[in-house]
């Protein structure tokens, strides 16, 4: 019942966004009650699938001894390419990635057949007989991007992006720096591996529980493989145990195999691969090779740059085209490049098809210019920070090579604040003094900036939908097209809806992502999850609020412009009514209490052929200072301290955002220091296919002193509550770690030396670089 408000007891505003709230599933994570796909109670008659993998890197498939496989204990069926009802393809963009090998074998680990058995272990035992039952005719394999580039073997045509007159500007430059370098790939290493659970439904339909960042694409690809219409396939995902891009497109193979088997056998089928097979089957971050020529002046200002970027794409296109496009668009990072000539080559090799990974090519593009700037500084004998600041984008020099203006530029003030709070200059002097008196242990310091464009660089993907249901008891259920992979998307969306309706966050619940609720969704990727889905949910909540306002105004005898929805009640005209009571009255008056919402990012345009336009809605900025200690006898490194200042606009949830920055920093540090991928040079087998041989960072690798702060500046663009994306940009911050290691190694050599440090900077790589620079000290 409406009531008068006692001014002395007026309810204070209770903000639901911009405050730190626990992840909505945190209590379930720590108690072990969070339900992942393998935790879903198995339906009666569930069967289990396992994949038989190609034993060779390249060749033709001549035969499979299917009868031997069918005779194995527990085996119910064996599927091959011939059993795919319609399209034998799970490639997201091009039709070049078979579900099961058909004729050609492309890499060691390619799925050739699927065993369906009554028990998972029995299925795995039968699938492990692949070497015995597969007859092949081997062909020469191409295993490195450089080999493929040398023979012009690409998954898509090369890309070129040019501005100005780079050749003449390079020839006229006072100084020139030529170089070659390479950075390896990176395994996503999500804690929950790839898994799909398919349950046949009545009337030729299928329910698919899939650990995926892109439920709509899984729906479409399964329908294509089955020869069905999309409405026959429902894909659900409550949560993932990590994704990092590895479940954007590459969950499709597992979804399709489970779906085909379940449909043909009319029984539920689960396909969960173990870690080794996950490594061998799926792709990862693209490794890049670079060749550059850069012209610069006496002050270190870049005048011209020419660069080849060669990515190792693996055997199929997957998402390699947009990954390379983003790498080209992020080569400039924080710097004005007046004359530039970039060439992107997507090399086709006989390895796993590489795919999305947090940053999506942006880190690979930006890392190249950071290595170049560091090399320029060492050539000139200048502090690399000084050279970076001289090259920053500024007014009059603020248009990127792809034609977008750098607006709301926070590079200067953000970097200045970090220099002061980190004590950069005093620490630089202290490190120089330490290195002069320490013959074995050397310290290094580096500050690197980040400018990262936010949006999918395929314009039509920048859209999202949501449903908001308000029940008669005042509780709220929201469903949106994004997926929860631990990043806190559901928490942020629930906060947005709670804020719009003026209820407490605990009154709002987010349900599982479901293609039967919100259709035609984009992947939860490109750091757009909160931007897109938050805006869509806000739109839906506002529609409900507008429907409630006439009734509230009538009940409170005030104008609609006086109404305030806050703290679980609606106030106006000196009176208040509880939200629950208002909703109950609205139901009796037949006012619609649920609504859909939609959002499309405005102002984007992109010419894929010319690589020109405005692909990003805004830029996120950041910077980090890393201090490291290097043991020059063992090559071991330790990050002593990291100071991070990152721009998230007006944060929706500071606690979640700081957690994302911390996680991204450590993940990027792992990519650049310890996570080394190695293939056998003859057989093409990935040798680092388990935690025993592939080293992700642990708690022991975190900076000993880790200081993370959020830069206080609202987003100038009309994003959700003026926040900024936080998923991918901070992964570029640990460039500072790699360059600090390089700085420490340089202390072993003569003045102005430029150590040839590889990435990842493993102990072996560090020792090789130390040896190279100390050799220059010899007579």
Q: Write out the E strands in 493-611.
A: 508-510, 513-514, 564-566, 569-572, 575-578, 594-600, 605-607
Which are the contacts of 14, defined by CB distance < 8 A and separation ≥ 6? 504, 566, 567
CB 146 within 8 A of CB 289: yes
Taking the C-alpha atoms of residue 418 and residue 330, their distance in angstroms, rounded to an integer, is 22
**Is the alpha carbon torsion for 537, 539, 540, 546 positive or negative?**
positive
- Measured CA to CA, the distance from residue 43 to residue 422 in angstroms comes to 56
Q: Which residues are catalytic?
A: 728
Q: What is residue 366's DSSP assignment? A: H
Q: Give the pairing type, strands 175-183 and 288-296.
A: antiparallel
Distance, CA of 681 to chain centre: 29
List CB contacts of 46: < 8 A, sequence separation 6 or more. 267, 268, 269, 270
In whole angstroms, what is the distance from residue 209 CA to residue 397 CA?
Answer: 50
From CA 190, how far away is CA 171, in angstroms rounded? Answer: 47
DSSP 8-class letter at 518: S
Q: CA–CA separation, 685 vs 379, rounded Å? A: 40
Contact 736, 627 (CB under 8 A): no
Please enumerate in sequence order all residues whose Cβ is within 8 A of that of 157, keeping only pairs 6 or more positions apart, or say none: none
Q: Report DSSP letters for 163-199, one per residue.
A: ES-HHHHHHH-SEEEEEEEEE--B----SS--EEEEE
Q: Rounded to whole angstroms, how far apart are CA atoms 640 and 360?
A: 29
Cα separation, 381 vs 385, in Å, equals 12
Helix (H, G, I), strand (E, B) or coil at 718: coil
**Across-strand partners of 206?**
200, 233
Alpha-carbon distance of 64 to 132, in angstroms, equals: 9
Q: What share of the chain is helix, strand, coil (3-state, %, to 5)?
A: 35, 25, 40
**486 torsion bin: left (phi>0), alpha (psi -120 to 50), beta (else):** left
Residues facing 643 on adjacent strands? 625, 707
């Amino acid at each position: 019942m409406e009531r008068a408000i006692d001014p002395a007891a007026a309810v204070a505003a209770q903000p639901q966004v911009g405050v730190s709230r626990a992840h909505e599933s945190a209590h379930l994570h720590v108690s072990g009650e969070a339900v992942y796909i393998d935790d879903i109670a198995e339906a009666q008659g569930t069967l289990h699938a396992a994949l038989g993998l190609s034993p060779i890197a390249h060749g033709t498939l001549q035969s499979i001894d299917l009868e031997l496989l069918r005779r194995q204990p527990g085996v119910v069926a064996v599927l091959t390419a011939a059993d795919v009802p319609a399209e034998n393809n799970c490639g997201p963009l091009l039709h070049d990635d078979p579900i099961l090998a058909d004729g050609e074998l492309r890499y060691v680990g390619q799925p050739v057949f699927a065993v369906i058995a009554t028990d998972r272990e029995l299925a795995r035992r039968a699938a492990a007989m692949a070497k015995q039952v597969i007859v092949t005719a081997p062909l020469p394999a191409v295993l490195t991007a450089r080999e493929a580039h040398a023979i012009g073997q690409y998954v898509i045509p090369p890309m070129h992006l040019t501005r100005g007159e780079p050749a003449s500007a390079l020839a006229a430059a006072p100084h020139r720096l030529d170089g070659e370098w390479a950075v390896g790939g990176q395994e996503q290493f999500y804690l929950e591996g790839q898994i799909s659970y398919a349950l046949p439904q009545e009337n030729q339909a299928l329910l698919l529980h899939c650990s995926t960042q892109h439920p709509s694409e899984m729906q479409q690809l399964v329908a294509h493989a089955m020869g069905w219409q999309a409405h026959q396939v429902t894909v659900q995902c409550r949560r993932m145990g990590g994704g990092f891009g590895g479940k954007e497109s590459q969950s499709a193979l597992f979804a399709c195999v489970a779906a085909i088997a379940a449909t043909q056998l009319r029984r539920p089928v689960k396909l969960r691969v173990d870690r080794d097979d996950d490594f061998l089957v799926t792709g990862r971050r693209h490794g890049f090779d670079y060749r550059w020529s850069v012209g610069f002046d006496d002050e270190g200002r870049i005048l011209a740059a020419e660069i080849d970027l060669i990515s190792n794409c693996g055997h199929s296109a997957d998402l390699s085209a947009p990954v390379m496009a983003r790498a080209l668009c992020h080569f400039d990072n924080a710097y004005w490049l007046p004359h530039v000539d970039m060439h992107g080559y997507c090399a086709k090799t006989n390895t796993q098809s590489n795919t999305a990974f947090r940053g999506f090519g942006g880190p690979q593009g930006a890392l190249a210019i950071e290595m170049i700037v560091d090399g320029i500084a060492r050539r000139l004998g200048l502090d690399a920070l000084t050279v970076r600041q001289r090259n920053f984008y500024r007014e009059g020099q603020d248009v990127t090579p792809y034609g977008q203006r750098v607006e709301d530029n926070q590079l200067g003030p953000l970097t200045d604040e970090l220099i002061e709070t980190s004590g950069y200059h005093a620490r630089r002097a202290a490190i120089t003094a330490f290195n002069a008196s320490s013959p074995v242990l050397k310290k290094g310091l580096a500050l690197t900036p980040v400018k990262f464009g936010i949006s999918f660089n395929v314009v039509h993907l920048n859209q999202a939908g949501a449903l908001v249901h308000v029940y008669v008891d005042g509780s709220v259920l929201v469903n949106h097209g994004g997926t929860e992979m631990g990043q806190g998307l559901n928490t942020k969306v629930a906060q947005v809806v709670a804020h719009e309706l003026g209820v407490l966050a605990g009154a709002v619940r987010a349900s599982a992502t479901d293609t039967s609720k919100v259709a035609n969704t984009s992947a939860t990727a490109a750091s757009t999850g909160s931007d897109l889905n938050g805006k869509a949910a806000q739109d839906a909540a506002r529609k409900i609020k507008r429907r409630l306002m006439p009734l509230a105004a009538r009940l409170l005898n005030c104008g609609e412009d006086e109404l305030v929805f806050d703290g679980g009640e609606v106030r106006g005209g000196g009176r208040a009514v509880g939200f629950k009571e208002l909703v109950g009255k609205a139901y009796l008056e037949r006012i619609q209490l649920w609504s859909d919402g939609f959002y499309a990012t405005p102002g984007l345009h992109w010419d894929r052929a010319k690589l020109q336009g405005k692909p990003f809605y805004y830029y996120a900025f950041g910077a980090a200072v890393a201090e490291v200690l290097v043991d020059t006898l063992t090559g071991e490194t330790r990050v002593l301290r990291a100071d991070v200042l990152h721009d998230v606009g007006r944060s929706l949830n500071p606690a979640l955002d700081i957690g994302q920055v911390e996680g991204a920093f450590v993940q990027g540090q792992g990519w650049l220091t310890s996570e080394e991928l190695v293939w056998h040079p003859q057989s093409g087998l990935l040798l680092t296919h388990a935690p025993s041989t592939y080293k992700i960072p642990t708690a022991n690798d975190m900076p000993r002193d880790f200081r993370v702060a959020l830069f206080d500046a609202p987003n100038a663009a009309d994003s959700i509550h003026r926040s900024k994306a936080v998923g991918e940009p901070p992964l570029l911050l640990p460039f500072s770690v790699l360059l600090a290691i390089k700085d420490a190694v340089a202390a072993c050599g003569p003045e102005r030396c430029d150590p040839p440090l590889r990435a990842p900077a493993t102990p072996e790589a560090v020792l090789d670089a130390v040896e190279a620079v100390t050799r220059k000290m010899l007579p």
